[in-house]
């Protein structure tokens, strides 16, 4: 049993080292109930898939009404330049995204010095093609590595990711969210959660894509 546990940990730890699960925090509150909806059910699983390559799974775990619309990336002060590029959008059932985003910046983002370098959005109509409860989207991206590491940049807040979420709750208002850094005390738990999401994602890609 002990040997089996060691073998399992040996397999899991390297995967945890290159993957991280992030949540989001609201920067607007058009409806006082909306921030908690987004903060409880919107997540992104970030996995380093190779040198200068990263896969990001954006998930709406539900159950409250909400749709992730535009997704934005902000890394204005990174030197040398990050050269972040969106190379592939992997749409899943019920989700259909396209390159570029309009508006070009996260709504209300400038109040938090958020100035997007890159974005993507769902095809019109957004409420139909965005990420609804129990849906997810995969973005494959490239960046300059070395010297940069995508997850390290997120954890140091040199890179931020913003979500514009629409059709929230009973009011159907919209809100903006920016990713938050996982607390050190929960890093291990989030690592295992990220692993579970990766397994679920691979399963869905195998059978649904």
- Provide the whole-model pTM: 0.82
* Tokens linked to 72: 């934005």
List beta partners, residue 166.
Answer: 67
CATH of region 37-181, choose from 3.40.50, 2.60.120, 1.10.150, 2.60.40:
2.60.40
Q: What is the pLDDT of residues 114-159, one digit of tens each?
A: 999 999 999 999 999 999 999 999 999 999 989 999 999 999 999 9
- What number is the average pLDDT over the span 87-107? 97
Q: Which residue has the higher pLDDT, 97 or 13?
A: 97
Q: Domain coordinates of the chain in residue numbers?
A: 37-181
User: Percent of the chain at pLDDT above 70?
Assistant: 79
Position 72 pLDDT exceeds 50: yes
């Amino acid at each position: 049993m002990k040997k089996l546990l060691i073998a399992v940990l040996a397999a899991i730890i390297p995967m945890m080292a290159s993957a991280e699960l992030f949540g989001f925090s609201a920067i607007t509150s058009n409806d006082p109930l909306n921030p908690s909806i987004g903060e409880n059910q919107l997540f992104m699983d970030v996995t380093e898939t190779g040198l200068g390559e990263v896969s990001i799974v954006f998930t709406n775990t539900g159950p409250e009404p909400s749709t992730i619309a535009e997704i934005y990336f902000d890394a204005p002060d990174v030197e040398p330049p990050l050269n972040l590029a969106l190379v592939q959008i992997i749409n899943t059932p019920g989700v259909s995204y396209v390159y570029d985003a309009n508006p070009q910046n996260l709504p209300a983002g400038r109040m938090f010095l958020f100035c997007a370098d890159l974005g993507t959005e769902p095809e019109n109509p957004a409420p139909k093609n965005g990420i609804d409860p129990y849906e997810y989207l995969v973005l494959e991206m490239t960046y300059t590595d070395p010297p940069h590491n995508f997850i390290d940049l997120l954890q140091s807040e040199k890179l931020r990711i913003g979500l514009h979420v629409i059709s929230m709750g009973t009011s159907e208002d919209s809100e903006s969210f920016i990713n938050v850094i996982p607390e050190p005390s929960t890093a291990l738990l989030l690592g295992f959660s990220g692993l579970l999401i990766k397994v679920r994602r691979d399963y869905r890609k195998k059978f649904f894509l």
